[in-house]
Amino acid sequence: MAVLSHDGGADRQAVWSTMFRRIRQGDLGPLPVIIGLLIIAVVFQNLNANFLTPRNISNLIVQIGVVGTLGSGVVFVLLLGEIDLSLGAVSGVAASILAIALSSYGLPGWLAIATAILSGLAMGALQGLVVVFLRVPSFIATLAGLLAWQGVQLIILGSQGERLIRDPLVRSIASDYMSPTAGYILAAVVMLAVIAMVWHGHVVRRRAGLPTKSATAAFVKIGVLAIALGAATAALNAYFGVPYIVPVLGGVVLALTWFTERTMTGRHIYAIGGNAEAARRAGIPVAAIKIGVFSLCGGLAGWGGVISASRQFAVSIGTGGGTLLLDAIAAAVIGGTSLFGGRGRMYNAVLGALVIGSVANGLNLLGSPSSIENIATGAILVVAVAIDAMSRAGQQSR
């Protein structure tokens, strides 16, 4: 049985041949997004030397927290071949419930956060029931939810229209920083987790009699990640430290990645997105999984509302509004999630959020108006969808 190769030349040849084969077949993975991020960094750094400073990088990471969280929910529904247009409004309602629970009922921070997340789960479950049992297309069901939840948010906040967040736990989520030592410990823990996942995948494939990846490919991937993590941690420590939003968002993405890629339910989600009727005939509980996915998306939107309240120190009728929903959908698609269902990874939302946030941040440094930011985001979205379409065509021709 094939194991990790010890022939360095053969390993390198296999790595390059595999990479070129995947490019020819349209299986590009995160490569276009990573190249795009590098281009964005080089361009804006040349235009404004403050772009890659530790302070600006730290601000950028904090800014993408809400979009990355809601984008993770968008990835889930897109994997099913569905859409959820209510995530922004759901996050606004959850944030409003959080504010009322803190200011009017005096609940402790952790309980108010749990209440907000559970409210998001309930709203998502209700929309999932409408989609499954009333057979209303998800586009219409969640569009109706968008309008309804906006009305609910107005009712909750009342005539005052705004509530301040004073709870220290809630405020710390998107506003505080880890110590330098804690930041390096976090980076080391992440690296150990990645090494463990790579090794576990190798062992599982070997036991199943499947071909395993070369040692060179594994070492290169781990080495690049280690360098990137170390450099990012050092840069953030040069400012105030690693923001708490990093482990918060990273923990969500890692948990969702494990769920979608390591559990039977996660595999069923991909199967339904690939062909719902074939999945149903194979005995997969399509209805239950759809309701569960919409519920989970609502919970993620609720958590996004908590992050938004933490960042703004307040909740208003504008929370969850504006371009937040569109940015979340764009983040998922730009990151590489297919609009056609059945293909995508949870980290796509974070990559896409980084692209959108980097463009917005860079244009702000240059003093460009918001109109230019919207045009740039729209152009990037079109390019991402075009790449997705070409990739899908390449895989179909294969």
Residues 144 and 92 both lie in one domain:
yes
- pLDDT > 70? residue 381: yes
Contact indicator for 13, 327 with CB cutoff of 8 Å: no
- pTM flag (> 0.85): yes
Question: In sequence order, what DSSP letters do the residues of 33-91 get, joined into one string?
Answer: HHHHHHHHHHHHHHH-TTTTSHHHHHHHHHHTHHHHHHHHHHHHHHHTT---S-HHHHH
Q: Is residue 392 part of a domain?
A: no
Size (the chain), residues: 398
Residues 198 and 279 both lie in one domain:
no
pLDDT of 187-210, one tens digit each? 999 888 888 877 877 787 788 777
Angstrom distance (rounded) from CA 266 to CA 99:
34
Angstrom distance (rounded) from CA 239 to CA 222:
26
pLDDT at residue 21, rounded to an integer: 54
Last residue in a domain, options 219, 242, 265:
242
Helix (H) / strand (E) element for 262: namely helix 245-262
Confidence tier at 337 by pLDDT (50, 70, 90): confident
Four-CA torsion 221, 227, 230, 235, nearest 10 degrees: -130
Residues 84 and 131 both lie in one domain:
yes
Q: What CATH number is given to the structural domain containing 312?
A: 1.10.3470
Distances (CA, A) of 379 to 44, 252, 382, 385: 17, 29, 5, 10
Residues 223 and 316 both lie in one domain:
no
Q: Average pLDDT, stretch 355-375?
A: 87
Strand partners, 164: 314
Residues 84 and 222 both lie in one domain:
no
Last residue in a domain, options 208, 242, 276:
242
Confidence tier at 221 by pLDDT (50, 70, 90): confident
Residues 234 and 131 both lie in one domain:
no
**Average pLDDT score over the chain:** 87
pLDDT at residue 284, rounded to an integer: 93
Confidence tier at 391 by pLDDT (50, 70, 90): low
Angstrom distance (rounded) from CA 191 to CA 185:
10
Residues 200 and 275 both lie in one domain:
no
Confidence tier at 271 by pLDDT (50, 70, 90): very high
pLDDT at residue 3, rounded to an integer: 42
Q: Average pLDDT, stretch 342-359?
A: 89
pLDDT of 81-139, one tens digit each? 999 999 999 999 999 999 999 999 999 999 999 999 999 999 999 999 999 999 999 99
- Which amino acid is present at 203? V
pLDDT at residue 216, rounded to an integer: 76
- Which amino acid is present at 208? A
Task: Name the token pair of 24.
Answer: 């020819």
Please give the residue range of the domain that contains residue 264: 32-40+49-176+243-387
- Residue scoring higher pLDDT (25 or 84): 84
Residues 231 and 166 both lie in one domain:
no
Burial (CB count <10 Å: 0-12, 13-18, 19+), residue 220: middle
Angstrom distance (rounded) from CA 398 to CA 396:
5
Q: Residue 54: which of 249, 250, 241 has the closest Cα? A: 241
Q: Is residue 382 part of a domain?
A: yes
pLDDT at residue 335, rounded to an integer: 87
Residues 187 and 172 both lie in one domain:
no
- How many structural domains are present in the chain? 2
